[in-house]
Structure 1
Amino acid sequence: MPVDAEDLPAPATPGPPAGLVTVGCLDEPPGYAVRRPVGARSWLFTWTTAGRGLLRQGGTAAEAGAGELVVLGPGVPHHYAVAPGAGHWAFWWVHCQARAAWGGWLRPSLLGDRLYAVRRVPRELWPRVTGAFRRMHADARWAGEAAPPGPEPEPVPARVAVAQGAAARELALSGLEEVIVLATAAAAAPGAGAAGRVDPRVRRAAALLAADPGAAHTVESLAAHVALSPSRLAHLFAEQLGQSPMRALRDARLRHAAQLLEATGLPVERVAAASGFASPYHFSRVFRQRYGLPPRDWRARRAGAAGETGTGGAGEEAGSAGEAGGRE
C-alpha cells in the first residue's frame, strides 16, 4: 500500500528560499518532524551519523540509519522525522542545486518519487564522509579572504552555514560531490551475491574507473589491477553491478565530461580528450544519446539556467536554493 508523505501529522514547514547553499547538522529527539506539502525547490541531502530517521516523499519511504545517504529531489511533497522507536536522529543536511554530473551516481539508488537511498556504505568510509560534511560547513562560511575557517569542534556545529559568495558555494558543492562519489561508488549493490555485497575486487575495479575515467582502461588492465582474469572480472562485474566494465567506463566518462562542460570553458574537443574519448564525433554522439543534446547545446542550456530556480531531475535539470533558517 503506498505511503503518502502527508500521512504523518506535523506543522507545515516553508520550503527553502532560492539561490543559496546551506549546510547544517542536527541531533533531534523523538517528535522532531518537518513537513512540506508541496516539497522544496532545492535538493536535500542527508547523511545519518547516529540514531534513525524516516523520510517520506510522495508514495516512497526510506528509513535512514548510521552511514546512509538519503536524498530528496525537488517538487515532491515530503515529510521526515525521527523514526518510530528511535531514541534520536543525528544527521548532516545540505540544501542546494544539484550538479548535472551527480545524476549518474545517484540513479542506481533511486527508490521512486525522486527519493534516493544510498546504503551499505563501508564503515571505514564513514569518518571521511562525515569529515567532508564538516569541511563543507566550514567552507560555506568562507568570505574569500585569507584561508577558509577550520571545522568547528566536535560533536555538532550549532549554527547553519550559508554560502554567500561564489567561492564558498563552489567549495561547499565540491565537498558534497566528494560525499556523493564516495558513498555511491563504494556502496554495495542491492542483492549482489548471496550476502548482498559486491566483491571487493569488483569494487576496486569500479573505483579505478570512477577515479580516472580519462585513462586508457581495458578489461585486461583492470583485471591485472585486481588480480583476476579478464573473463572472470567481466563476469563478476556484469553480474554484481548490472553492466559490463566498458559500459561502466563509458558512463563514468560521460559524467566526467558533463562536469567539465558545466564547470570549465574548455572547448568540446578538449573535454572529449580529457574524458577519454579518442574521437570528438563519437563523444558528441554518445553524449547526445545520454543527455538529449549535443555537448555545446547542453553547455549553453546549463549556462542559461545558472542561478534560476528549477525542479528537474538530478543529472539534467536540477532544483536550486538552500535554506537560510536554522531548522532544516
Structure 2
Amino acid sequence: MKKYTSFLILFLLGISLTTAQKKGKQYNIRTIAFYNLENLFDTINDTSINDEASPMMELKSNRSKVYWDKIDKLGSVIAQIGEDKANTSPAIIGVAEVENLSVLEDLVKNKHLITKRYGIIHYDSPDKRGIDVALLYQKRYFKPVFYEAYNPNIYRNNRKVYTRDQLLVSGYLDDELIHIIVNHWPSRSGGEAKSRPLREKAAYQNTKIIAQVREKDPNAKILIMGDFNDDPTNSSFKEVLKTKAKKKNVGELDIYNPYEDLHRRGFNTLGYRDNINLFDMVLISSPLLDKGKKDFSTYKMYQANIFNKRFLTGKKGQFKGYPFRSFSYGGYTGGYSDHYPVYMYLIKEKK
C-alpha cells in the first residue's frame, strides 16, 4: 500500500495555503469527512434487531469496558481528521455501522469531541443487522434545514433486501446551502458479481435523490459520501452515477469522484482476504469543483484524501498493513475500525 504519498499531499497543501495567506488571501477551511465506525453497537440486547450477531454482543466478558474503549478511540480519530489545516475536527462527518442514536450520543459526548458541540441526524433503518448511517455536524458551522431517510427499495428474486437507508441532509455551511447524501450500500456477500445489481440499484436511488434536490436547487452543491462497497471504477459509479475522474471532463450536471485517481495510484480504505479496496469516498457535484480557475469566492473542494495515519494501520498478524480493526474472530483487538476515514477540505476566501 502507498501509505506515505498522502502525507506529502497534505504537506504540499499546507505550503499552498500558507503561501496564499502570505499574499494577502485568507481562507475559511472546512473539513467534510466520512467514517465507517465498524460495528459501533451498545451492550444492550435489542430484541427488535439481530444485534446478537454483532461482535460486541458476541464478547463473553468486558463488554462495557470494550464499548467505552472503542468510543474513546473513535472520538480521538474524529477529533484529528482535518485538524492540522482547519484547526478543528470535521465540520460535517457522515458515519456508518452505528446501531442507534444512543451510541452516537455517547460518541459526541466523549472527551475528545464534547467541546465541538456536535449535532446528530439519525434514523433507524430496516437493515437486518440493525446498523444505520448518520450525520454529525458542528453546530457553529452547519445549520440543517431539511433531512430525510430514503430506503433504496431493493429486491432480489422478488424478495426485499433489507439494507441501509440513504440519508439526505440539506443545510447551510456558514452561509452557503449544501446537500449531503450519506450512504452504506449493500455488501459483497455472495461475491462481487452476484451482489453487483444491489449496489447498482442503490446508486440509482442516489440519482433519484440528486434529481429531487436539483428540482428545488438547480445549481445544487451536493456531497455524496459513504461506504459504497464498490471501488470508484465499478459499474455503480461509472454506469449509473456516471462519475468523472478528471476535472476537465466534468459537465454542469456531472458528479466528480476525486477518489478514482487515488484508487488508480494504489490507495485504499480497507483490506480483506488479500484484497485491498477503496470503498469509502466523498464525491461532489460540479458547483463544488474549481476546475483550475482558482475562484474560491464560494466554497469549493481544495483537496480530497484518506486519513491513514500510521496508528490506524495494523502492525502484526493477519491484518498487518490493513486498517487496525476493532474486532477479529469473536474478540476485541483494541483497534479503531476496519476502514480508514476519508475527508476533503472545502475552502472559501474570506471577505
- The normalised TM-score by structure 1 is 0.30
Higher helix proportion, which one? 1
Higher strand proportion, which one? 2
Higher relative CO (CA 8 A, sep ≥ 6), structure 1 or 2? 1
- The normalised TM-score by structure 2 is 0.28
